[in-house]
Amino acid sequence: MPQTSAPALNPTASGNGNAALGYNPPGVRNTDSAVPLHPSEPVVHDYNSDGPAPGRLAFRWTYGSNVAAKNRDPRVQVVQYNEDSFVLRQNVCVHWEAPFTYLLFGNQGALLIDSGATANAKHYPLRETVDAIITRWGQARGRSKVPLTIALTSGEDIAQNQGLVQFAGRPDTNIVPTPLDVMKQHYGFRSSWPSGTGAIDLGDRVIEVIPTPGTHKDGVAFYDPYCQILFTGDFLYPGKINISNDRDFVTSLERLKTFAADRSPKWILGGHIEMMFVPGRYYPRFATYKPYERILQLAPDVINEVLQYAREIQGKDMLLIRPDFVLFNGVSPDQRTPVWPEGVPQINPPRPF
């Protein structure tokens, strides 16, 4: 009898896979299409396979209002990148920096990367939102308890550490200590800082921790091998990168370049968006209306570009504009320059409507 071959799947475009095929067909990672409707026992995912897990960021972020008090967008925008990974963004009218936080799940727990810029849960209901996602995720997988770890890309960054107080006293929650010496010990860096890597095991999904001092002395980045995404906070993002120690910044970029060459990340996701879609243009501080933002994700080769120009401005008090980021070294974040950089297209953004 003639053999019928299974339809070919594109691992990067298959979304939630094909429910008619097996639970984990070749080339596609575990997907919700195969999670039982009423699981009789906890669903266990296999996070080991070639290539990045499918995921989508093809949408537009809420962009605020001219009059912040009249904004009616959700206080926390939630996007499901894939079945075990969520991207959350604080409303820009609640805090102008509109930071991103990331919620990742494994077979034994969840990780929340960063906690936003506002402590008041009424204005910024981060814990309520995270609890709702965890509850729904656990119900779909037959898990009544999902331990949560909360880790910051920097305990110094007030745009990413304020929401931490909302989780005080939360059951089954482990908050990574923020004092630098205690944080080093927690990740096992001890005397190796800022070399080496740490790890957070979520249950078959191990998140790597990479020291990245330079914008903050306690800065770290997180790498998820399942999605092949590097989470970099305000160390590397499409915006105004404020360098506090240029020597540390260059050294951290060199380590990150070596790390990325070995891991081949698909995307770099930072903590904010400040650039416009027009090359080299960015929003000023305190802006609450940003209709022309650049996309969040950066290609991994941006590490080489940032490193090149960080070396160029090392030891100099200046700002340097590139299409997808701006480096501020030893100058105010409100610094301006009358000189448009060579090689960056000079295009005026459209007037806000």
pLDDT of residue 24: 47
Select the more confidently predicted residue: 157 or 27: 157
118 pLDDT band (50/70/90 cuts)?
very high
Arithmetic mean of pLDDT, 315-330: 96
Mean pLDDT for 288-304 is 96
- The per-residue pLDDT for range 229-268, each reduced to its tens digit, is 999 999 999 999 999 999 999 999 999 999 999 999 999 9
pLDDT of res. 219: 97
Query: Encoding tokens for residue 44?
Result: 């266990």
The answer to whether 94 touches 123, Cβ cutoff 8 Å, is: yes
Taking residues 161-186, what's their average pLDDT? 96
> What gap in Å lies between CA 196 and CA 116, rounded to an integer?
27
pLDDT digits 0-9 by tens, 176-206? 999 999 999 999 998 889 999 999 999 999 9
Could you tell me which residue, 121 or 22, shows the higher pLDDT?
121
Q: Give the strand order in the sheet containing 220-224.
A: 198-201, 206-211, 220-224, 229-233, 267-270
CA–CA separation, 231 and 260 (whole Å): 12
**Eight-class DSSP state of 63:** -
Instruction: Kindly state the tokens that stand for 247.
Output: 């020597």
For residue 34, pLDDT beyond 90: no
**Structural tokens at position 190:** 């001890």
Of 18 and 339, the structure prediction assigns the larger pLDDT to 339
Structural domains in the chain plus CATH codes: 68-329 (3.60.15.10)
For the ranges 19-33, 119-133, 276-290, the lowest mean pLDDT is seen at 19-33
State pTM to two decimals: 0.90
Q: What is the DSSP code string of 172-222?
A: TEEEPP-SHHHHHHHHT-GGGTTSS-EEEESSS-EEEEEE-TTSSTT-EEE
> What value does the mean pLDDT of the chain take?
90
